[in-house]
A and B are shown apart, each in its own frame.
Chain A
Amino acid sequence: MKQILTSFALALLTLQACKQNSTEGSASTENAMDIKVSGETETQTKLNPPMVPAPIGDRAAKKVIVHLESTEEEGVLADGVTYKFWTFNSTVPGSFIRVRVGDEVELHLKNASNSVMPHNIDLHAVNGPGGGAEATNVAPGKTAIFNFKALNPGLYVYHCAAAPVPLHIANGMYGLILVEPAGGLPKVDREYYIMQGEFYTKGKTDEKGLQEFDQDKGVDENPTYVVFNGKKNALMGDKMLEAKVGETVRIFVGNGGPNLASSFHVIGEIFDRVYMEGGSKINENVQTTLIPAGGAAIVEFKVEVPGEYVIVDHSIFRAFNKGAIGKLKVTGEENQKVFHKVQ
C-alpha cells in the first residue's frame, strides 16, 4: 500500500513538473512581452572579439542602446593576404551584443560615409519583419534606428541582409547577439566569442596580395578560407584564448557561413554542457557540436590540466588547410590523476 502511495505521489509530482515545464516553455515569449523596462538606459560597450560584454546577471529589464557602424575596409585575411572586408564596427565578427529577455533594444545602424554600398542588419533575435533588415537598409553616410523587444532567450546570429545577401555575408558582415534568460546565465570564470566564417578569393589559399571576391567559388560552396574571427590565426600565437586549471570556460560560438555548417570541437576537452543551437536545451558531455550556417551554440567546460587545446571545425581539412583553427592555452598545476604520460 505504502509503495502504491509513494509511486502515486511520485507520478503526481512528475505530472506537476511536466505541466510547469510546458507552460514555461510556451508562455515565455508572451510573458517577456509584458516585462516592463526600468532604470537608466544603458549604452552597450563595444569590445573586439573574442571579448564579450560583462554578464547581465539578475538585473531588471531595461532599455539598451546599441551602436553599430557598417564599414568597408581592407584588412588582413592571412599572412601576406589582404581582402576588402565589410564589417559591423570594423571587426569580423561584429561587436557582441548582450541583452536580457524583456530588454528594449534601440539599435542604431550607421553606414560609414565612405561606404560604397547600402547595408542593413537582420538580427535572428528579433521578432519582426526581416529581423530589422527593412527598417535599417541604410545608404552610405546615413543612420537608421529601430527598436525591438528581446522576447526569446538564446544566442543568435545577426548579419547584413542587403542584396546581394550572400556577398554581404561572404565579406564578413555578421556577429552574435546573446539574449540572457531572466536571472542570467550561471556564473563561469571565462567567456569568449568565436565566430566561424568563409571567404572566397580569386587566388588560392595563402596566395599573397590583395584578394578579390570569387563569385563562382561562393556559388560552388568551395571556400578558399574557413576561419575563426575573420582571419587565419586570429586565435593563435599571442592571440590564443587563455584559462587556468580549474576554471570554467564558456564559449559563445557562431557560424556566419555563408555556406558551410561547422563541426565545432576542442581537441582534448569534452564540453560539459552545450546549449544546443544556442537555445534553451542543454546537452551534456559532448565531443563535437554541430553549428549550422546562421546558427550558434554555447559550450561550457572546466579545464582540468594545463596544455594548449586546439579549437577546430572537425571537418578537418578546413582546420589544417583553410584556417578554421585556434587555441586555448591552459596554465597551472599538472593533475596526474586526470592525465599523465606513462612511458
Chain B
Amino acid sequence: MQVFLKTILFLGGFFLIFQSCGEAAEPISTVFASPEKEAKINPTVKMVVIKGGEYQPFYGEDSSLVEVKDFLLDERPVTNAEYLDFVKKNPQWKRSKAKAIFADETYLQNWQDDETLPKGADPDAAVTFVSWFAAKAYAESAGKRLPTIDEWEYVAMADEESANGRDKPEYSSKLINLYNEKDRQTRKTKLSEPNYWGVYNMFDLVWEWTDDFNSIMTTSDTRSGTFDDKGLFCAAAATTSTDALNYASYMRYAFRASLKANFTVANLGFRCARDLKTTSK
C-alpha cells in the first residue's frame, strides 16, 4: 500500500514538472532533456552475464526480497583511456564545455587539459571526477546504461568463492579496512581477483555511480525508522537495515546519499550495465 502511494506521489511529481514545463518550457526542458545526442563509442570492455535472483537488500523497512533480473555488467570500471575516447567523440563532455548543471567545478579537474589525462595517470585506471550525468551519457553512447542500486549490490554480495559472501564474518571487516585506504583510485583495473561472477574491482578502487543513487532520499521526515535517508544518520538505521552489522554497506549507502547528480569526486567512477535480451519463448 505504501509503495503504491509513493509511486503515485512520484508520478504526481513528474506530472507537476511537466505541467510547469508547459508554462515555462525553456529552462526546465534544458535541465531534463538530454542536451545533445551522444556520438557512438565502442569500448571493448568485456561484459559478464549476471544470473539474476531474489536478494535481500541491505536497506529497507521490511525484509521482503527484491528480484534482480538477469543482466550484463562491465567486468571492470570505465577507464581513463575509454573516457578520453568518449570526450574526443563527444566534445560537449570536454572539461571546458560541460555545463555546470551537468558537472560541477571539479569535473575532470585532474586532467591536464581537455584531451590529456592526469599527469602520471594510468590509462587503465578507473576514470574519476565524473558526474552522474556524464556517466549516464557515456553509458548511452556505448549503447548501455548505469546499473541500478539493486543490481550493483546484488553483484556486491559475491566474494571470490560464492554469489553471497555477506554472512561470512570477514566479508564486512575486510571491506571496512579496504574502504579506509586512500588513493586507491590511481591503481590499474583488473589487478585484484575477480569475484564469483568474474567481475573485477567492485570495492578496491573507486566508489561507483548507480542509476538510482539517490532513490533512498525521497521519502518522509521522521526518525521513526521509515525508508528514508535520515535512517542512515542515526539509530533508525539499526532498525531499518536488514543487516545492522554490515558496516561496509552502510558506507556505500551513506556515500550515495551525500551525492548530487552533478557532483564529481576524486574517488568516484562508474561501470556500465545492459539488459539481457531474453531468448525464451
Contact across chains for A114 and B177 when beta carbons are under 8 A apart: no
- CA A317 to CA B94, docked complex, whole Å: 61
Take A113-B266, A213-B176 as given contacts and tell me if A130 and B230 are in contact as well, using a CB distance cutoff of 8 Å.
yes
Which secondary structure dominates chain A's binding surface?
loop
What 0/1 readout, one digit per residue, does chain B (213-234) give for beta carbons within 8 Å of chain A? 0000000010000000110111
Take A133-B233, A140-B266, A163-B251 as given contacts and tell me if A116 and B258 are in contact as well, using a CB distance cutoff of 8 Å.
no
Contact across chains for A116 and B182 when beta carbons are under 8 A apart: yes
- CA A154 to CA B86, docked complex, whole Å: 56
What 0/1 readout, one digit per residue, does chain B (239-275) give for beta carbons within 8 Å of chain A? 0000001010011011101110001011110000000
Interface centre among B183, B234, B259 (most CB of A within 10 A): B234
Contact across chains for A167 and B247 when beta carbons are under 8 A apart: yes
What 0/1 readout, one digit per residue, does chain B (164-193) give for beta carbons within 8 Å of chain A? 000001001100110111110000000000
Check B237 for interface membership: any CB of A closer than 8 A: yes
Interface residues on B, range: 20 to 34
Check A142 for interface membership: any CB of B closer than 8 A: yes
Closest residue on chain B to residue A84 by CB atoms: B180
Q: Give the residue of A134, A162, A167 whose beta carbon is less than 8 angstroms from that of B176.
A: A167
Contact across chains for A129 and B255 when beta carbons are under 8 A apart: no
Check A141 for interface membership: any CB of B closer than 8 A: yes
- CA A130 to CA B229, docked complex, whole Å: 11
Segment with Cβ contacts to B, from A18-26, A117-125, A252-260: A117-125
Q: Give the residue of B181, B234, B247, B268 whose beta carbon is less than 8 angstroms from that of A215.
A: B247
Check B106 for interface membership: any CB of A closer than 8 A: yes
- CA A129 to CA B245, docked complex, whole Å: 25
Q: Which of A44-94 contact B (CB under 8 A)?
A: 72, 84
Contact across chains for B267 and A163 when beta carbons are under 8 A apart: no
Interface residues on A, range: 20 to 34
- CA A213 to CA B251, docked complex, whole Å: 15
> Taking the nearest CB of chain B, how far is it from the CB of A123, in angstroms?
13
Contact across chains for A137 and B266 when beta carbons are under 8 A apart: no
Q: Which of A212-249 contact B (CB under 8 A)?
A: 212-216, 219
- CA A244 to CA B237, docked complex, whole Å: 49
- CA A165 to CA B254, docked complex, whole Å: 10
Contact across chains for A215 and B263 when beta carbons are under 8 A apart: no
Contact across chains for B176 and A163 when beta carbons are under 8 A apart: no
- CA A167 to CA B177, docked complex, whole Å: 11
Closest residue on chain A to residue B232 by CB atoms: A163
Q: Give the residue of B177, B230, B265, B268 whose beta carbon is less than 8 angstroms from that of A134.
A: B230
- CA A127 to CA B265, docked complex, whole Å: 31
Contact across chains for A164 and B179 when beta carbons are under 8 A apart: no
> Taking the nearest CB of chain B, how far is it from the CB of A90, in angstroms?
15
Q: Which of B73-125 contact A (CB under 8 A)?
A: 106
Contact across chains for B247 and A116 when beta carbons are under 8 A apart: no
> Taking the nearest CB of chain B, how far is it from the CB of A2, in angstroms?
61
Can you report 17 A-B residue pairs in the complex whose CB atoms are below 8 A from each other?
A: A117-B179, A117-B254, A117-B255, A118-B254, A120-B258, A122-B233, A139-B258, A139-B263, A140-B266, A142-B263, A142-B265, A161-B233, A162-B258, A163-B250, A164-B247, A164-B250, A165-B234
6 closest A-B pairs (Cβ-Cβ)? A118-B258, A164-B250, A163-B254, A163-B250, A163-B232, A139-B258
